[in-house]
Amino acid sequence: MNCCVTDSFWLCAPVVLTIGLTATLLSALGGLSEERTSRLARFFLVSSIVAALCVLAPRGAQPGVLLRQDGLAVLWQGLFLLAAIPLAVLMPLAGEGPALLLGSVLIGMTLLAAANHLILFFLGLELMSLPSYLLVERLGRDKRALEAAIKYFFAGSVGSALFLFGVSIFYSLTGTLAMDPIGVTSPRLELALALMGAGALFKAGAAPLHFWLPDVYEASAPELVGFFSTGVKAAALLFLFRVLLLVPPAAGGLSSWLPWVSVATMTVGNVLALRQTSLQRLLAYSSIAHVGYLLLGVWAWNELRPAAGGGPASPSVFVYAAAYLFMSTGAFLALRLGGLTDRRQLAGFAARRPSLAAFLALMLLSLASIPPTGGFLAKLLVFWDAIKAGGAWLAVVAAANSIVGLAYYFALIRDLYLSPAGAETAKDPGPIPLVGGTLALACAIPTFILGLWPGAWELAARWLER
């Protein structure tokens, strides 16, 4: 057993050691506030994440081990690390924030992606979530941050409790906690998977389990919300993939509910976004709508699994998650760089800050799935999978929801360029700093590349087979 545990650890050792040592160093530097020390701490913080990206590589999956560093784990760990870079660059370095970020990315998300055992999976889930609750309070914009952190904590606790209930039933029926496929199913096993899946839907913010998300997003710093809307949602999707892989595709239960959850989620997100005036709250409901489209892709993958050879995840969903990483992070980055909080502040913004307004407009066009952006190709791939899986009616409903989404995305672009400047304007934070401009380019360029590169699907499919 000890040999098995040791072998499992070395599958993830490069990433764990790279970020773990930096987290220890930053914890030691957390009480220092000198400018030189702050610059050094930020250098170590960003460098450790980039170094962890460089050492990511699939190392195979041995039967019976606690961890598996296969193609699925590596792709999702790459998403987590990329999502953390803008937050690492922009977040305040005072206090324990940097160490909390690395703890969330490393101890939580790395274990979540590579876990091959339900208890280890739960530990990764909690070690990802607990630092996130603290980050909401530490990086909050105002006094509402504490209230939002408490709501996030209780909502996350409910999701974790549901998962543990499901795990207990699963163990009582199968006698194992290994995350290996079960060849047979039963009503009680379907109940166990439904409870575990509900935990994933809580983390993703799917309707009707989305009630905590708008308040958390509105009260948090824009750079933190960008991380939550991409990295944490990607972790929730991976969570759902791992649960669905435990049973055959035709098992029913959780998979049969996904179409209805998907439709409810995209509809709630798009309809409620129409009447929002707070920009971060509007983008929060937009992110709920995108969760609905992603859940549609997860359902289509599960239906197509027998014909596709039983792959560990959907290439279309991964391409969507990657595209969403850049466009959602870019949208919140634009809010941070422009000092934008309220929709009324967009009036006349293009005249004052033309380059930043153009960048925000590009991100909004990609979120609206307008070609040739990455958002268009990603959504097209998901819709195509849904049609192949026999869900043409779902694709039609999703397309109708996309049209509803155009209303508020285009309304924001109209406010940017056509509305005259009003009495309420954003406080001008000054010229865009070099690091902010670099991050904006790092979001804009992939948004165009993914929209013009259909081969991204094939590349993701090859990695998922490793």
- The rounded average pLDDT for each run of 10 residues, N- to C-terminus, in the chain (466 residues) is 47 61 61 58 79 71 64 85 89 73 77 86 88 85 82 89 92 87 80 90 88 89 90 90 81 80 95 93 95 94 70 84 94 92 89 92 95 92 93 94 95 90 64 86 92 80 74
Shared domain check, 111 and 236: no
Residue that is last in its domain, among 116, 139, 162: 139
Cβ–Cβ < 8 Å for 314, 337: no
pLDDT at res. 5: 45
Nearest to 133 by CA among 106, 151, 115: 151
Cβ–Cβ < 8 Å for 426, 345: yes
Shared domain check, 434 and 335: yes
The domain tally of the chain equals: 2
Enclosing domain of residue 348? 214-466
Nearest to 323 by CA among 237, 161, 448: 448
Nearest to 312 by CA among 99, 36, 75, 97: 75
Shared domain check, 219 and 134: no
Residues 6+ apart with CB under 8 A from 296: 258, 259, 262, 266, 382, 383, 386, 391, 394, 395, 398
Shared domain check, 218 and 365: yes
Residue 208: asked if its preceding bond is cis (omega within 30°), the reply is yes
Burial class (CB in 10 A: 0-12, 13-18, 19+), 314: buried
Nearest to 367 by CA among 332, 416, 315: 332
Shared domain check, 399 and 297: yes
pLDDT at res. 264: 95
Q: Tokens 């669905």 correspond to what residue?
A: 244
Shared domain check, 303 and 414: yes
Shared domain check, 132 and 6: yes
Residue that is last in its domain, among 139, 161, 184: 139
Shared domain check, 454 and 341: yes
Q: Quick check: is 205 in a domain? A: no
pLDDT at res. 20: 62
Distance between CA atoms of 161 and 159, rounded to whole angstroms?
Answer: 5
> What count of other Cβ atoms lies within 10 Å of the Cβ of residue 463?
18
Q: Quick check: is 5 in a domain? A: yes
pLDDT at res. 402: 95
pLDDT at res. 209: 85
Residue that is last in its domain, among 120, 139, 158: 139
Strand partners, 60: 69
Q: Quick check: is 153 in a domain? A: no
Alpha helices by DSSP H, 175-186:
none
pLDDT at res. 1: 41
pLDDT at res. 37: 60
* Reported pTM: 0.91
Shared domain check, 101 and 224: no
Shared domain check, 237 and 98: no
pLDDT at res. 63: 46
Structure tokens that stand for 189 in this block: 């096993």
Q: Quick check: is 35 in a domain? A: yes
Q: Quick check: is 148 in a domain? A: no
Distance between CA atoms of 102 and 109, rounded to whole angstroms?
Answer: 10
Q: Quick check: is 91 in a domain? A: yes
Q: Quick check: is 358 in a domain? A: yes
pLDDT at res. 77: 87
Shared domain check, 244 and 99: no
Shared domain check, 221 and 131: no
Q: Quick check: is 328 in a domain? A: yes
